[in-house]
């Protein structure tokens, strides 16, 4: 039995080196990257038996996605197709005041046609947990229905469901997002939401604790995690609130921080550990992720625990 199945789009990420610009660079780094597969990678690397399912073009590009996940020990259960593209995104890292910028080139991706029937629903039902994010239903109407189906199927089978709001303004408006997401929430056990998305998309008010409590009340979530960037995270679980400060980092690549957090959190919860412990692992994994280029947390459980034991930051020799 798989501990965790995640479902969503994984893209290929193209980024120029250093501070170079897309307009002038002659070289691009090439990596697999996707919110839900990032979660699976973090969970797998911290000990969970994690799988990722999706639909990919039967091409070297689709195979590269699979290759990029398998290397981290994630099992891939893919619907191969000759229809549809491999989604990509271009990332330019830029310091202040430039900021980093992302150009999505994901329209018409094969995954946007993924229907429930062709996906490994049985596997979702048999898993301990199922995870997807708010990006998935935003990608196509088909995917909106499929996401709903999978969450419902999981819930019905007793598989715990995890959902990261992950609002992307380039995909839909806050209003569209809110309507769709709230229709999915009844089948969600664990909700992760960035404080900003809670306010701007879910129209929540008050302090983070209020936000968590309000969401838990309204949608009957078992757990709500509110992430707050440099101010850490907060979890509401079974009526208890737990706070977790962020860990200071030298950030090399911030993309995937939330996914690393959630993957680590889930891996600990799946291992039967309590919410505060899961928050700690989430926080440390997220901090490590920020020091590593690419979307995924190439870390080990030992490294995470060493951060928690505050041993990091020096040369060990």
Query: Which lies closer to its own copies via its Cβ, residue 180 or residue 249?
Result: 249
Q: Which of residues 110-169 bind its own copies (CB under 8 A)?
A: 168-169
Nearer to its own copies, 20 or 200 (CB): 20
**Taking each helix axis from N to C terminus, what angle separates 257-270 and 275-289, rounded to the nearest 10 degrees?**
150
Stretch that binds its own copies, among 103-111, 113-121, 124-132, 270-278 (CB under 8 A): 103-111
286 within 8 A of 257, measured Cβ to Cβ: yes
Interacting residues with its own copies between 30 and 49 (CB under 8 A): 30-31
Q: What residues from 245 to 264 belong to the interface with its own copies (CB under 8 A)?
A: 247-255
Least Å distance between CB 112 and its own copies? 12
Of residues 103 and 122, the one with the C-beta less far from its own copies: 103
Interface segment toward its own copies; rule CB under 8 A; list 71-79, 184-192, 202-210, 267-275: 71-79
Question: Applying CB under 8 A, which part among 2-10, 13-21, 180-188, 233-241 lies near its own copies?
Answer: 13-21
Q: Report the residue from 1, 82, 95, 205 that binds its own copies according to the rule CB under 8 A.
A: 95
CB of 288 to its own copies, least distance (A): 5
Instruction: Give the separation between CA 33 and CA 312, rounded to whole angstroms.
Output: 27
Q: For its own copies, give the closer residue by CB, 151 or 304.
A: 304
Query: Quick check: 103 and 90 in contact, CB under 8 A?
Result: yes
- Among residues 49, 164, 187, 259, the one annotated as catalytic is 259
**Which residues in 285-306 are b (16+ Cβ under 10 Å) and which e?**
bbbbbbeeebbbbbbeeebbeb
Residues 180-239, interacting with its own copies (CB under 8 A): none
Question: Which one of 3-11, 213-221, 262-270, 293-301 is the stretch in contact with its own copies (CB under 8 A)?
Answer: 293-301
Q: Which of 27, 117, 141, 205 binds its own copies (CB under 8 A)?
A: 27
Q: Is 309 in the site for its own copies (CB under 8 A)?
A: no
Distances (CA, A) of 140 to 152, 167, 180: 18, 15, 12
259 flagged as catalytic: yes
The string of DSSP codes covering 190-218 is EEEEEHHHHHHTS---SSHHHHHHHHHHH
Instruction: Give the C-alpha separation, 216 to 222, whole Å.
Output: 7
Per CB under 8 A, 14 contacts its own copies? yes
Vertex 302: Cα angle to 166 and 256 (nearest 5): 15
In the bound complex, what is the minimum distance in angstroms from residue 163's beta carbon to its own copies? 19
d(CA 166, CA 197): 8
- Evaluated on CA atoms 169, 227, 230, 20, the torsion sign reads negative
Can you say whether the dihedral through the CA atoms of 191, 13, 174, 257 is positive or negative? positive
Q: Which stretch binds its own copies (CB under 8 A): 10-18, 115-123, 156-164, 175-183?
A: 10-18
Q: Is residue 272 a contact point for its own copies (CB under 8 A)? A: no
Q: How far apart are CA 6 and CA 124, in angstroms?
A: 9
What is the total count of residues that contact its own copies (CB under 8 A)? 77
User: Which residues are part of the catalytic machinery?
Assistant: 259
């Amino acid at each position: 039995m798989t501990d965790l199945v995640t479902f969503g789009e994984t893209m290929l990420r193209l980024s120029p080196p250093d501070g170079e610009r897309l307009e002038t660079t002659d070289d691009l780094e090439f990596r697999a990257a996707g919110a839900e597969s990032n979660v699976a990678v973090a969970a797998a690397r911290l000990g969970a038996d994690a799988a990722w399912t999706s639909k990919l073009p039967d091409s070297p590009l689709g195979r590269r996605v699979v290759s990029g996940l398998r290397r981290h020990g994630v099992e891939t259960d893919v619907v191969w197709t000759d229809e549809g593209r491999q989604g990509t995104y271009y990332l330019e890292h830029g310091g202040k005041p430039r900021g980093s910028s992302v150009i999505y080139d994901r329209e018409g991706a094969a995954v946007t046609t993924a229907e429930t029937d062709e996906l490994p629903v049985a596997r979702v039902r048999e898993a301990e947990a199922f995870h997807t994010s708010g990006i998935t239903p935003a990608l196509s109407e088909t995917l909106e229905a499929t996401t709903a189906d999978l969450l419902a199927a999981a819930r019905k089978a007793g598989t715990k469901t995890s959902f990261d709001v992950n609002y992307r303004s380039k995909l839909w408006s806050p209003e569209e997002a809110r309507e769709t997401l709230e229709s999915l929430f009844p089948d969600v056990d664990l909700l992760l939401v960035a404080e900003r998305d809670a306010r701007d998309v879910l129209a929540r008010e008050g302090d983070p604790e209020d936000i968590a409590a309000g969401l838990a009340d309204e949608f009957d979530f078992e757990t709500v995690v509110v992430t707050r960037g440099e101010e850490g995270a907060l979890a509401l679980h079974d009526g208890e609130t737990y706070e977790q400060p962020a860990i200071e980092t030298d950030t090399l690549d911030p993309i995937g921080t939330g996914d690393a957090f959630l993957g680590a959190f889930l891996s600990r919860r799946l291992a039967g550990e309590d919410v505060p412990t899961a928050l700690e692992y989430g926080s440390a994994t997220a901090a490590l992720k920020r020091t590593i280029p690419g979307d995924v947390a190439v870390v080990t459980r030992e490294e995470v625990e060493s951060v928690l034991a505050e041993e990091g930051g020096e040369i060990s020799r």
